Every structure is written in C-alpha cells, then in structure tokens.
Structure 1
Amino acid sequence: MKTYHGKQILITGGLGFIGSNLARALVGQGAHVTLVDSLIPQYGGNPFNIDGFADRLTVNVCDVRDPFAMAYLLQGKDYLFNLAGQTSHMDSMTDPKTDLDINANAQLSILEACRESNPGIKIVFASTRQLYGKPDYLPVDEKHPIRPVDVNGINKLAGEWYHLLYNNVYGIRACALRLTNTYGPGMRVKDARQTFLGIWVRLLIENQPIKVFGDGLQLRDFNYVDDCVEALLLAGASNEANGKVYNLGSSEVIGLKDLADMMVSLGHGGRFELVPFPPERKAIDIGDYYSDFSLISNELGWTPKVGLREGLQKTMAYYLAHHAHYWD
C-alpha cells in the first residue's frame, strides 16, 4: 500500500461510514486526504467519524451536485474514491428525482470535470449489489443479469456505467466495486436508511426488540468495514482493475433470523421478533442474496478477513462507547 504515500486523495462522502474509515487508513499510509461531504442529515455524514485524526486531513463541506465546487476540488488529485450517494432504497422510491440527481447526474458531472481538468486521475466508484435484483442463481457473480428492483438500483447502475464508459472512451482510469452489506463503526444507526443492521444495533443497545421481517430465512452476506476499505485500496492501486466491476462478499452466509440470534447472543441483552413485511418493503425485497467474489480474489488478491461474529462484537463495543454521537 505504499502506492498512496504522499498522494493527493479526494473522498466524496468522506464524513460518512465507509469514507471516514477509508480516510483513516489513507492518513495512516501518509496520503494527503481531502474529504467532501454535504452533511445533509439523512445521508449519514458525521464529523465524529474522524475523531482523533481530523487534524491530519482537510474537510470541505459541499455537495457533489455542485459542479463548480467539484471541478475545483478535483484539480491536482491523484485518486478519487467516489463514495457519495443516496443509499436508502425506500427514499429512492418516495423521492426518485433526488436519487437521480445524486447517484447519476452528479456522477456524470464529476466525470466531466475529470475529463476536462484532470484526466490522469484514478477513480474507484462504490456501487451496490442491489442492482442485480432478485437473483436467478446463487452465489451471484458479475455475469448475473442486471435487474434493479428500485429507483436506487437503476441510478446506481447509471453512475457505475458512466465511470466504465469514461474509462473505455476517454481513458480516465476507473473501476467499480459492488458492495454487499457493509457494517462496522461509523455506520448510520439512528434509523434504517443505510442498512438494517444499523437500526438493529441501536435497538439492542436501547433494549428494544429487533424486528425481523417475514420468516427471517432470507440469506445474506456481510463485510466488516475494514475488509471493504482494503478492497477499495487494492482497486485504487491496481491498473488491472481499470474498466472492471468487482463484487465484494463473504464466504459466511447467514439467515436474518440467525443473524438476529447471533447479535442477541453477544451478551448485551435484547431480543428479536418476527414481524410481517411492510408492503412497501416487500415490493422491493430481493429474497436470498450472497455474492461470488472470486473475481476480485483472483485478480486483486482480496479476501475478507474479519469474521461475522468478531465484526459484530467490535461494532457493538464501538456504539456502546460512542452512541451519544450517533443518535439523539
């Protein structure tokens, strides 16, 4: 990872969950890091996420939808980790135009700014497994049909393909990682806007029941944030990744009912209960999902290292200590 020492790095969504953890790793490697975040309350940016190393980087509070600010901030940067996005699937259905503006239109503006003023930059785009939709087969590899079930998936797909197009046509080195369920310190836990696992953490700490929709047999895979950060760094450092899309994932696959039981068994109290699917969530539920991540393993050498139980223990310990900074 000496790749990043002394380099100029821009992270969009940098005060958010994954962006702040990535920033910590890059600062530790001697990179010059600039964070961009709108700090719009519902999108997950939190200044406490960089507590302890805020004086070792630069923070610029602006919106990726501002083309002039982004064009200025991209000048002279060696790497862009493009993590800013509207991640709520439900919000994308109730406010689709905002989702379009952030996840598609803003991405095109960013790429145009790179083409015009910094074509030598390397970009890693954070995409999502949600764009596959309901799987035809498991585990899902990168050749699986693309069939988004919500507006968020469609717009994230557009953002992803803009990056690949600019790589292929204009030679702006770019790649995309399709993230699965990422969790860990810094994730949004005050509600379920980013991940259901976040609100589960809060409910456990508040000694309220975790609500598991349906029969709880839906299968999922999860990545602890440190593993996700390592994948981002490997993709940024590799020219092999240019123009490609990689799944992240885990060899640990678990049903949601068993996951809730595991979280309760960590020893912090709490319980879970099965509840009927809300109709609006049932309409966009994808059933079972877990990834085939062999492509990124074979080409970039990435494999997840943090086991699920270990990662959940670390996550719970973090929020037990710092929950005052993450919800009212």
Structure 2
Amino acid sequence: MSFTGKNVLITGGLGFIGSNLATRLVKLGAEVTLVDSLIPEYGGNLWNIEPVKDNVRVNISDVRDEHAMKYLVQGQDYLFNLAGQTSHVDSMNNPYPDLEINARAQLSILEACRRHNPTIKLVFASTRQMYGRPQYLPVDEKHPLAPVDINGINKMAGEWYHLLYNNVYGIRAAVLRLTNTYGPRMRVKDARQTFLGVWIRRIIEGNPILVFGDGQQLRDFSYVDDTVDAMLLAALSDQANGEIFNVGSDIPVSLKETAELLIKVANCGNYDLVPFPDDRKAIDIGDYYADDRKLRGMLGWQPSVNLEEGLRRTADYYREHHGHYWEENHGA
C-alpha cells in the first residue's frame, strides 16, 4: 500500500480505530492530521497516539464546527471519516447529540469537501447496527435496513449522504459497515463503544465478566488491524467508490464462548450469566454475523488475526497500559 507523501485527515483520530489507523498511516509514509473533540464520553484519548505523537498533527475540534472542517479538508488527499457517537443506549436516552454528530455533521463535512476539496477520497465508518434484527444469516449488503435504535437511523443517514455525494457530485466515497471491532486503544471505561472493552477491564481488575442472557447470541469480531486493512484498501481503490462493504471475520462465535476464550488467553477470571438490563434488551439484535464476500472479492481483503490471538494482544496491551484508560488520576 502506498500512502507516501499523501495528506490524510482522520476525524475521530484520537479514538480507538482512528488512532490505530493513524499509527499505520505514519508507517506508510503519510502526512497525518487528526481531528478529535476529546469529549469525554466519545473515546478520544491522547495516549492512543503515544507511539506516533511526534509524527502527526492534532487539531482539537468538533466535526459539528462547520468553519473548522471547511479549513481542515483543504489540501487533503484522503479523509477517513470515523468521528461519531457510538453508544446505542446513549442515542436512545439523549437522541439530539447523536443526530447532530452522526447525521447533520456528516452533511456539513461533505459540503466542505464539495466546496473546498472535490478531489478528496472519503472512507466512512458505518455500522452493522442499521440492519437491525437479522432476517437471515449471514447478513449481506442487500439485507433490508431496519435499525432498532436512534444511533442506527442516524448512521444510516450519514452513510447515505456519502453515497449521494459520490453519485451526484462525484465526491469519491466508500462505506464500511463495521461489526464488533476490538483491540488495543478501544474504550474500556464503559460499554459505550463495545462490551468487549468492559469484559477486558473486569478480567484485569479481577471481577467476573457479565454475559447478558444465556450467552448463546452469535457475533463476529474484527480485530482492529484487520479493520484498518479494509479501510486502507477502500481508500486506494476507485472500484470501491459508491460501494458499501460489510467487514466481518472468519468464524461467528457465541458470547459465552468468547468469554471462555478471553479467560483462557488471560489465564485468569470467570464469567456470570446475568439477565439483560432493560435498556439493552429493548435494542438487542440477537444473533448477527456478516457476509463479507463482497469486500474479500472486490478489494482482496482477508482478516489475518483470529479471535484468540486478537484477545491475547488486547489483554496484554491493557495489562501494560491500563493506567491510561481507566484510573482516575490519568484520565481517558
């Protein structure tokens, strides 16, 4: 992959996926600018870019600030648009910030590109949540869209804005519908980003993992390095313009089996089956795993890190760096 000398802007760049993407792009020779609001609930953390902090530019600003984005998109070759409100429960409890960030701000980013940098290439991080409760498995890109929460509806609007601007204005854009992405630098203070983060925190702290329901729900998990691979391939391929791609993994696994595997690689801990909290049960989608043959066939993507190895790497990372992610004296 060649990004040598390319100017790259990453919204949500101090967050989980954005910081991993930034680290990779620096290694690939890109000139990287990160935009992040550092709003405490949304996962941005300056420690995430510690390995490359001297090789990237950081702009602390909110994607809802049209004037800032107008300036930041200028001169960029690529925009990886990852900023978003990710909590499904928060979107139900307080829907307006979700609307502003995941829909309204996406439209203003695209307008900034149309008016000030129409040759830029965008990759938009969407979500499998918009499929809702699967009508069939595995879920392919043609599956009906039926979001079960506010977050899914607004993310759906955000991705369709990108596709519209691709189709009508020629602003090249590709959409990736992400599944349960996990790995180093993910938010572990709470479940706003992924339940796996909370599981890893609990196991390191010596507390039992809490598995909701009977633990038989099937999921697929994408290690963050594999997700980054998919984003880079989509950025470099003109064949990806105007396309939607599911990002999945090799083998779906139950939540109970996932908990058991995490305990195995961490060499400690246990889990408890507990009833679903009411706010989560209302928006749970049951079993889900993706059909990602389109991504593999069109872009040549292939996941390289299996779940056992990915969980091991993630647990090792937080054992070493947990003080930067959930101890109060460091902030996160």
Name the TM-score, length of structure 1 as normaliser. 0.99
| SS of residue paired to 2:257 | helix
Q: In the TM superposition, what is the alpha-carbon distance from 1:267 to its structure 2 partner?
A: 3.8
Task: Name the amino acid aligned to 2:280.
Answer: R
Task: Name the amino acid aligned to 1:57.
Answer: V
1:280 is matched with which residue? 279
- Contact 2:178-2:248 at 8 Å conserved across structures: yes
Q: In the TM superposition, what is the alpha-carbon distance from 1:12 to its structure 2 partner?
A: 0.1
| SS of residue paired to 2:101 | helix
| SS of residue paired to 1:250 | coil
| SS of residue paired to 2:265 | coil
2:220 is matched with which residue? 221
Distance, in Å, in 2 between the alignment partners of 1:178 and 1:135 is 15
The correspondence of residues 289-304 of structure 1 with structure 2, limited to 5 A, is: 289-304=288-303
- Contact 1:14-1:23 at 8 Å conserved across structures: yes
Distance, in Å, in 2 between the alignment partners of 1:173 and 1:182 is 25
Distance, in Å, in 2 between the alignment partners of 1:268 and 1:52 is 28
Q: In the TM superposition, what is the alpha-carbon distance from 1:53 to its structure 2 partner?
A: 1.1
The correspondence of residues 1-328 of structure 1 with structure 2, limited to 5 A, is: 1-2=1-2, 4-328=3-327
- Contact 2:190-2:198 at 8 Å conserved across structures: yes
Task: Name the amino acid aligned to 2:195.
Answer: F
Q: In the TM superposition, what is the alpha-carbon distance from 1:268 to its structure 2 partner?
A: 3.5
Alignment gaps of 5+ in structure 2: 328-332
Q: In the TM superposition, what is the alpha-carbon distance from 1:251 to its structure 2 partner?
A: 1.6
Distance, in Å, in 2 between the alignment partners of 1:115 and 1:200 is 42
- Contact 2:21-2:228 at 8 Å conserved across structures: yes
- Contact 2:223-2:305 at 8 Å conserved across structures: yes
Distance, in Å, in 2 between the alignment partners of 1:213 and 1:118 is 46
Tell me how large the CA RMSD over aligned residues is.
Answer: 0.6
Q: In the TM superposition, what is the alpha-carbon distance from 1:33 to its structure 2 partner?
A: 0.3
**What whole-Å deviation, never above 9, does each CA across 1:273-301 have from its counterpart, x for those lacking one?**
00011111111000000000000100000
Distance, in Å, in 2 between the alignment partners of 1:305 and 1:293 is 14
- Contact 1:204-1:268 at 8 Å conserved across structures: no
Q: In the TM superposition, what is the alpha-carbon distance from 1:35 to its structure 2 partner?
A: 0.1
Identity %: 67
Deviates more, 1:58-67 or 1:258-267: 258-267
Task: Name the amino acid aligned to 2:9.
Answer: L
Distance, in Å, in 2 between the alignment partners of 1:163 and 1:48 is 30
Distance, in Å, in 2 between the alignment partners of 1:314 and 1:190 is 18
- Contact 1:167-1:173 at 8 Å conserved across structures: yes
| SS of residue paired to 1:266 | helix
Q: 1:32 to 1:267 in 2, by over 3 A?
A: closer
Q: 1:282 to 1:79 in 2, by over 3 A?
A: same
Q: In the TM superposition, what is the alpha-carbon distance from 1:88 to its structure 2 partner?
A: 0.2
Task: Name the amino acid aligned to 1:58.
Answer: R
Distance, in Å, in 2 between the alignment partners of 1:26 and 1:266 is 29
Task: Name the amino acid aligned to 1:143.
Answer: K
Task: Name the amino acid aligned to 2:239.
Answer: E
Distance, in Å, in 1 between the alignment partners of 2:306 and 2:195 is 19
Task: Name the amino acid aligned to 1:306.
Answer: V
Distance, in Å, in 2 between the alignment partners of 1:61 and 1:14 is 10
Distance, in Å, in 2 between the alignment partners of 1:190 and 1:155 is 24
Aligned residues: 327
Runs (4+) off by over 6 Å: none
| SS of residue paired to 1:198 | helix
Q: In the TM superposition, what is the alpha-carbon distance from 1:269 to its structure 2 partner?
A: 1.4
